[in-house]
Chains A and B, each alone.
Chain A
């Protein structure tokens, strides 16, 4: 119950004593408050309305304060005060206070989250190399209809699937609103569908599984318009996936006196470069840390 606030000032001790005595006297001499009692359920489901029972009679002011709510309105004591479900959507503690004639009564109740109705799904990473262990993580945050974190356990299913490949399914239970899993990436490159679901709700993400480093890098040369044209064979990783277009492949030609380099890009699976026609020069190819074959200009590969 809130009390009148009497705090010390710079006034003398005697003056404070007089004031405190006056406070007490004032409380005694106040008109007797009408006896009240507030009755509320201890726990209410989110979004459900509540009826606040009061005893006594006469006019009073109802305060209802909670997460997302701060209501003040007049009520008649002895008549139930209805609070709509719209005012009780947010989970947490609510405080009810009824003031009448300088007297206040308070009560607390909890709004608890409802059943799992929505998921916020964090799927990481958005790109992952193929055949990587525990490389994909999924975290599902389970909410009810009113965006309250569902703290009761909920059954969450994770599923990772790629076209024409086997899918992986993990069933788990949320703990304090969270369920999570870790999965290996598949051996096949492509867009994997990563789905988190609770009964009636599913959320889909895409994880791009991309080829790893080139496995065997080979190229050949042929005479070109202004020198030599070097071109690789289709560049694949060790699982047979095409290395993504745009990946840099470096051709280096060394003729003993000068060196020529071209940072070519893989396009449509192969990389091409034009190099000077220097008889006897050696040409090598590399992509990242992977080196390929060597070709001598005018000689056998």
Chain B
């Protein structure tokens, strides 16, 4: 009996501590600082990437991942237009709709991105990049974290100029 009560106490403590972890401030909240982005444009062709574009891509890609983390963490598709457009936005919106149906949220804790520009269109309105991203991803079901994983993933990214900003049009994880 004593052992059982101790086990129950320990489970309760464990659950409580676990919940404390869940309730900790999330990096995916809106207003969180932008992830670290390192952009290499030395391989970009056929157009050379302008300095101002380097700055804009770095800033806007970081914003896009902030928006992604906030949207998946709060199941709010309305946060996506900040950084996404077209197919990427549509697919992320579908994911959020499914998360809502399943009672899930995804928490993304971004650890940074190494971006390499591989194509910059001749007229300067589209850029394809390869992103090596590191982040921690938690799947939360009904308030409990059911899965935590630290991931290093490769993405094919297509960014285009929309409303005077660069937005992610394709975000496709590759093998």
Interface residues of A (CB under 8 A from B): 2-9, 18-19, 21-23, 25-26, 29, 43, 63, 65, 67-72, 90-93, 95, 97, 99, 104, 106, 110, 112-113, 122, 124-125, 137, 139, 141, 143, 147-149, 151, 175-178, 180, 182
A2, A70, A71, A148, most chain B CB atoms within 10 A:
A70
Whole-angstrom CA separation of A124 from B20 in the bound complex? 55
Is B33's beta carbon under 8 Å from chain A? no
Is B54's beta carbon under 8 Å from chain A? no
Query: For A91, what are the chain B residues with a Cβ–Cβ distance below 8 Å?
Result: 172-173
Whole-angstrom CA separation of A249 from B10 in the bound complex? 90
Known: A5-B145, A7-B20, A92-B172. A72 touches B123 (CB 8 A): no
Q: With A3-B148, A19-B14, A26-B10 given, name 8 new contacts (CB 8 A).
A: A2-B148, A8-B17, A67-B95, A90-B94, A110-B173, A110-B175, A124-B123, A151-B172
Contact (Cβ within 8 A) B95 A63: no
Query: For A4, what are the chain B residues with a Cβ–Cβ distance below 8 Å?
Result: 14, 18
Cross-chain contact of A178 among B94, B119, B174 (Cβ < 8 A): B119
Is B44's beta carbon under 8 Å from chain A? no
Contact (Cβ within 8 A) A22 B10: yes
Provide 5 A-B residue pairs closer than 8 Å at the C-beta atoms, listed in order of the A residue.
A19-B17, A63-B146, A71-B98, A90-B94, A139-B121
Is B69's beta carbon under 8 Å from chain A? no
Contact (Cβ within 8 A) B119 A176: yes
Cross-chain contact of B147 among A71, A104, A139, A149 (Cβ < 8 A): A104
Whole-angstrom CA separation of A93 from B173 in the bound complex? 6
Is B91's beta carbon under 8 Å from chain A? yes
Is B9's beta carbon under 8 Å from chain A? yes
The 8 lowest CB-CB distance pairs between A and B, nearest first, are A22-B10, A92-B173, A137-B122, A72-B102, A19-B13, A70-B98, A124-B123, A68-B94
Cross-chain contact of B10 among A19, A110, A113 (Cβ < 8 A): A19
B8-31: CB near A (< 8 Å → 1, else 0) gives 011101100110111000000000
User: How many residues of chain B have a CB within 8 Å of chain A?
Assistant: 50
Shortest A89–chain B CB gap in Å is 9
Contact (Cβ within 8 A) A67 B91: yes
Contact (Cβ within 8 A) B146 A97: yes
Query: For B125, what are the chain A residues with a Cβ–Cβ distance below 8 Å?
Result: 122, 124
Contact (Cβ within 8 A) A149 B170: yes
Whole-angstrom CA separation of A124 from B123 in the bound complex? 7
Known: A2-B148, A5-B17, A6-B14. A29 touches B122 (CB 8 A): no
- Name the residue of chain B whose CB is nearest to the CB of A21: B10
Contact (Cβ within 8 A) B95 A5: no
Shortest A109–chain B CB gap in Å is 10
Contact (Cβ within 8 A) A122 B146: no
Query: For B126, what are the chain A residues with a Cβ–Cβ distance below 8 Å?
Result: 122, 139, 141
Shortest B16–chain A CB gap in Å is 8
Contact (Cβ within 8 A) B104 A72: yes
Contact (Cβ within 8 A) B104 A70: yes
B120-150: CB near A (< 8 Å → 1, else 0) gives 0111011010000000000101000111110
Shortest A149–chain B CB gap in Å is 5
- Name the residue of chain A whose CB is nearest to the CB of B141: A72
Query: For A113, what are the chain B residues with a Cβ–Cβ distance below 8 Å?
Result: 172
- Name the residue of chain A whose CB is nearest to the CB of B22: A5
Query: For B95, what are the chain A residues with a Cβ–Cβ distance below 8 Å?
Result: 67-70
Of residues 83 through 136 on chain B, the ones whose CB sits less than 8 Å from some CB of chain A are 87, 90-92, 94-95, 98-99, 101-104, 106, 118-119, 121-123, 125-126, 128
Shortest A179–chain B CB gap in Å is 10
- Name the residue of chain B whose CB is nearest to the CB of A69: B98
